[in-house]
A and B are shown apart, each in its own frame.
Chain A
Amino acid sequence: MAGGYLSGIFGSSPVRPLQTHMEQIVECVQQLIPFINAVLDGNTSDRDHIHRNIVDLEHKADKLKKELRLRLPSSLFMPIDRRDVLEVLTMQDRVAGAVRDVSGIIIGRNMVIPEPMRDNYRELVATCVQSVEQAHQAISELDELIETSFGDKERERVGSLLSELDRIEQTTDEQTITLSHQLFDMEQQLEPVNVMFLYRVLDRTSLIADRAQRVGSRLQLMLAR
């Protein structure tokens, strides 16, 4: 079509797809709360149902990830570094991976969380979800960042969102340490193999917040350039 080459100059921006991917991830992570509730209540049918949901959402996010990667040819000229986009994408994807791991281990071993740890574990999961939501908030500032072409005001705004994210992640670290101590104190009364896997569940759960934080630090790198 005539005049097509003026429109040809506009490549498809990765920002919106990146945000959509993150929305998908948040939705996936949020499933973890009802999942853990079902596990703690011993409601296995709910638990299995939600687990399938998590796996589905993770798959959808995976598809989005692959589409977005294909949309980034090297001839694109962008205000954000191509590598940073791909890194953020990978980190976002790994958040969902950690969620799937947690639910997978619990389902696979039909695990029960020991009574004394329950409240603390529920709290840890809630904080992890919160950290991902915080990372999502930062990512959703990307279009505003580009609108202001990385203006100082907008950088500050994103910066403060990211330091809040760091703070949340620190909280999850503390919560995990508390839970590890609790588990250590109970080790003698529990099946050794179960103990091993409980440690792994704790580890994977805290990994969710850890990866959410890495999404943030990649975003920080984008700001720095």
Chain B
Amino acid sequence: MEFSVWYLGLAAAFGLFMAWGIGANDVANAMATSVGSRALTIKQAILVAAVFEFTGAFLAGGQVTSTIRKGIIDASDVADRPELLVFGMLAALLAAAIWLLLASRRGWPVSTTHSIVGAIVGFAAVGIGFESVHWAKVGTIAASWVVSPMLSGFIAFFIFMSVQRLILSTEDPLANARKYVPFYIFAVGFIMALVTLLKGLSHVGLDLSTRQSLVVAVVAGLATMIIGVLLIKRVKVVPSDDEDFRFTNVEKIFGVLMIFTACGMAFAHGSNDVANAVGPVAAVVSIVKTGAVAQKSSLATWILLLGAVGIVLGLATYGWRVIKTVGRSITELTPSRGFAAELAAATTVVIASGTGIPISTTHTLVGAVLGVGIARGIGALNLRVVRNIMLSWIVTLPAGGILAILFFFLFKGIFLN
């Protein structure tokens, strides 16, 4: 294919840029809850984010990547003109990245996922043809944007109720916290491991049956639980701390739990959001390599790595500052609530990742926080955020789409003349 080196280079550059943007802006929302509740210091949060965003992206990012790459567009229409798909994917990447940059500069609440999906649908519908979009799939994705915050809110509600029942609202909350918190820690390790394993790690050379996966997940859960128990043992209970607020020491134990849910959150975020950057890259790479719109070729591991590295870079250069800012403004969320929200959101996101559905991590987390709020767990929630989220849906999809259409025709003009 003509210009193929150019295509590859541009795809890698745009993909890295997009991943950088995700690391710089998006990760903050996943990590800030833990920083805000003082379960983690900024430094620890960055370390956790770097390690688990990377592993999440690398180990569990494949499914969503393949959806972004080939689930939205029916490429059979352009089988004879594969360049069109290359231009489109490049345009979508650039459009989404620029839109994100602009929006986050302005402080608008936009989602990476919505930008990239809007961009891909936009260029495909206009540049290739309206019927080349898998509308059913797009419909499923759009529905999941409504369902995922609700689901995570639902889960958060029940997790939080169980915490009330088992720990907070009992005669001896401290003893019960020591007793039950390890089981929540087990759940974090178990769920993350299970979903990842079930969806396959064949790209790192690990192929397990369902039963094997289950066993490994239980082992992973137990391992995290043991670490958790050791950490809980180290928590210093200072009775005088409880004078003003009788749950100060109990919250310290939940603080340990939040370290684990923060890891889970970073993992989940990596697994779902890396696709927004590397999905289009993967599409370009496979077209250039085979010279055709091959729908079957598997995902090259280095592409996932590219995305994972980009996220960590974004985190290291800019994201840590955003974590600091957002974390400082979230002080209302004590560890007993923060963990419930994070566990619910991480579970929802990881399940979506396993199913290959791109969803917004932030919106899912907002849904989870609302779930805890409905369980009468949070002093005050500002419901205007819900309106803002709706607005961001309405604005981001067309914005990403229109920008992508512009870039699509730009690339077409540059390379085809």
Q: What CA separation (Å) do A3 and B33 show in the bound complex?
A: 11
Q: When the two chains form their complex, are residues A149 and B377 in contact, meaning their CB atoms are under 8 A apart?
A: yes
- Are B376 and A5 in contact (CB-based, < 8 A)? no
B21: nearest residue on chain A (CB-CB)? A2
The answer on a CB contact under 8 Å between A4 and B326 is yes
Q: Cβ of A14: which chain B residues have Cβ within 8 Å of it? A: 379-380
Is A15 interfacial (CB-CB < 8 Å)?
yes
Asked whether, in the complex, the Cβ of A3 is within 8 Å of the Cβ of B384, the reply is: no
- Considering only residues 375-389 of chain B, those with a C-beta below 8 Å from chain A are 375-385, 388-389
Q: Does B46 contact A (CB under 8 A)?
A: no
Contact partner, A2, options B36, B322, B331, Cβ 8 Å: B322
User: Given A1-B107, A2-B25, A5-B385 in contact, is the A10-B32 Cβ separation under 8 Å?
Assistant: no
Could you tell me if A76 and B380 are in contact, using CB atoms closer than 8 angstroms?
A: yes
B135 at the interface (CB under 8 A from A): no
**Residue of A3, A10, A79 with most chain B CB atoms under a 10 A cut-off:** A3
User: B104 touches which one: A2, A10, A144, A153 (CB < 8 A)?
Assistant: A2
A76 to B366: give the CA distance in the assembly, Å. 15
Chain B nearest CB: distance from A74 CB in Å? 9
Is B373 an interface residue when CB atoms closer than 8 A count as contact? Answer: yes
Q: A144-187 interface mask toward B, CB cutoff 8 Å, 1 = contact, 0 = none?
A: 10111111111000000000000000000000000000000000
A143 to B, closest residue via Cβ? B245
Interface centre among A5, A9, A11, A78, by most B CB within 10 Å? A9
Which residues from 1 to 30 on chain A have a C-beta closer than 8 Å to any C-beta of chain B?
A: 1-15
Per-position binary interface string of chain B over residues 158-169, scored 1 when its CB falls under 8 Å from any chain A CB and 0 otherwise: 001000100011
Q: Chain B: which residue is nearest A12 at the CB level?
A: B380
Minimum CB distance partner of A150 in chain B:
B376
Cβ A13 vs Cβ B380 within 8 A = yes
Cα–Cα distance between A5 and B362 once the two chains are bound (Å): 9
A45 in contact (CB, < 8 A):
no
> Cβ of A197 < 8 Å from any Cβ of B?
no
Contact A13 B332 (CB under 8 A): yes
**Contact (Cβ within 8 A) B377 A9:** no
Give the size range of A's interface with the partner. 20 to 34
B26, closest chain A residue (CB): A3
CB-defined contacts of A2 to chain B, threshold 8 Å = 24-25, 28, 104, 107, 322
Once A3-B32, A3-B325, A5-B388 are accepted as A-B contacts, the answer to whether A147 and B334 lie under 8 Å apart by CB is yes
CB-defined contacts of A12 to chain B, threshold 8 Å: 332, 380
| Chain A residue at minimum C-beta to C-beta distance from B160 | A149
Closest CB of chain B to A66's CB: distance in Å?
Answer: 18
The total of interchain contacts (Cβ-Cβ below 8 angstroms) comes to 133
Q: Do the beta carbons of B326 and A3 come within 8 Å of each other?
A: yes
Closest beta carbon of chain B to A56's beta carbon, Å: 26
B283 to chain A, nearest CB (A): 27
Complex CA distance for A220 and B155, rounded to whole angstroms: 30
- A2-B25, A3-B32 known; A10 and B376 CB under 8 Å? no
* A8, B385: Cβ atoms closer than 8 Å: yes
Q: Is the interface of B mostly helix, strand, loop or mixed?
A: helix
B375 touches A149 (CB 8 A): yes
In angstroms, Cα B372 to Cα A79, docked, is 10
For the complex, give the distance between the alpha carbons of A150 and B331 in Å: 21
- Interface centre among A1, A2, A153, by most B CB within 10 Å? A2
Per-residue contact bits, chain B 355-372, to A (CB 8 Å; 1 contact, 0 not):
000000010011001100
CB–CB B380/A77 < 8 A: yes
B164 touching A8 by the CB < 8 A rule?
no
Contacts of B373 in A (CB 8 A): 77, 79
Query: In the bound complex, do residue B381 and residue A151 qualify as a contact, i.e. CB atoms below 8 Å apart?
Result: no
Q: Roughly how many angstroms separate A93 CA and B9 CA in the complex, as a whole number?
A: 69
- Asked if A189 CB lies within 8 Å of chain B CBs, one says no
Minimal beta-carbon separation of A39 from chain B (angstroms): 35
Closest chain A residue to B101 by CB distance?
Answer: A2
Q: How far is the CA of A14 from the CA of B32 in the complex (A)?
A: 23
If A78-B381, A144-B246, A146-B376 are given as contacts, then 14 extra A-B residue pairs at C-beta distance below 8 Å, sorted by A number, are A1-B325, A2-B104, A3-B26, A6-B29, A6-B326, A7-B32, A8-B384, A9-B382, A10-B369, A10-B382, A76-B381, A77-B383, A146-B378, A149-B164
Would you give 18 A-B contacts (Cβ < 8 Å), ordered by A?
A1-B322, A2-B322, A3-B28, A3-B322, A3-B362, A5-B366, A5-B385, A6-B326, A7-B329, A9-B366, A10-B369, A10-B382, A12-B380, A77-B380, A78-B381, A149-B169, A149-B377, A151-B169
Q: 8 tightest CB-CB pairs across the interface, nearest first?
A: A13-B379, A151-B169, A7-B329, A79-B376, A11-B380, A2-B104, A5-B109, A11-B382
